[in-house]
């Protein structure tokens, strides 16, 4: 058997809260404190579900709620906490006094996601959207560091090792050894190679002064 609902749905209001209901809920919590949400509606004389009372209090009526826009400090704190906790909005809200988990989640989806994208960061992973070696300002001969492939960091299989070795060898400039350079000097491909002929060698004396 599953857990029984906190109240009979057929006997509860589901519409918008009235001022009278808000006043009843506030008065009851001031007198008895928070908690006991399953029994609170009957004790407070409310035809509401306990969950509805809890959400109404947390999201709208509690006195320590912050009103108005988020500050820049709150934005940066949310970004930092999200990079650590992910989409655990209740844990994030616990570190932002006066803000609710639902409020932070909505603000994340409507505002902070766009802020991270404008910085070139993935809102989910908080990593750059493009690998650094795709940047034109980066030298193409410089091998990519291991952190550019986060999915492979914890893998130690021979296939992954071969992948990094091949990537670095392809990315690094090939410098010929000294012996190879001596045996195969650079050729100027713009020079013309004359055809072999049986003509007599050039007479050097023709260029001598009489």
- Read off φ and ψ for residue 135, nearest 5 degrees: -70, 135
- Encoded tokens for 170: 């392809």
Measured CA to CA, the distance from residue 118 to residue 115 in angstroms comes to: 5
Q: What percent of the chain has pLDDT over 70?
A: 57
Q: Which of 3-17, 42-56, 83-97 has the lowest mean pLDDT?
A: 3-17
Residues 93-134: pLDDT tens digits?
A: 999 999 999 999 999 999 999 999 999 999 999 999 975 554
β-pair partners for 128 = 121
Question: Which domains are seen in the chain, by residue range?
Answer: 19-61 (1.10.10), 72-182 (1.10.10.60)
Measured CA to CA, the distance from residue 61 to residue 67 in angstroms comes to 11
DSSP, res 205: G
Among 52, 49, 53, smallest CA distance to 4 is for 49
CB neighbour list of residue 166: distance below 8 Å, 6 or more residues apart: none
- The answer to whether 25 touches 19, Cβ cutoff 8 Å, is no
The predicted structure's pLDDT at residue 12: 84
């Amino acid at each position: 058997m599953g857990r029984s609902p906190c109240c009979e749905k057929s006997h509860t209001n589901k519409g918008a809260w009235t001022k009278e209901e808000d006043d009843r809920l506030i008065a009851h919590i001031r007198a008895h404190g928070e908690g006991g949400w399953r029994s609170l509606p009957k004790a407070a004389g409310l035809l509401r579900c306990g969950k509805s009372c809890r959400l109404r209090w947390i999201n709208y009526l509690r006195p320590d709620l912050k009103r108005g826009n988020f500050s820049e400090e709150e934005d940066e704190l949310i970004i930092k906490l999200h990079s650590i906790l992910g989409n655990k909005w209740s844990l994030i809200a616990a570190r932002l006094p006066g803000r609710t988990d639902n409020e932070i989640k909505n603000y994340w989806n409507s505002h902070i996601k766009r802020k991270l994208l404008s910085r070139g960061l993935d809102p989910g992973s908080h990593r750059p959207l493009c690998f650094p070696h795709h940047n034109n300002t980066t030298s193409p001969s410089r091998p990519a560091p291991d952190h550019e492939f986060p999915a492979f960091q914890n893998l130690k299989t021979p296939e992954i090792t071969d992948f990094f070795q091949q990537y670095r060898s392809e990315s690094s400039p090939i410098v010929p050894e000294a012996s190879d350079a001596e045996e195969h000097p650079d050729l100027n491909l713009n020079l013309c190679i004359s055809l072999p002929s049986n003509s007599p060698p050039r007479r050097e004396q023709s260029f001598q002064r009489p």
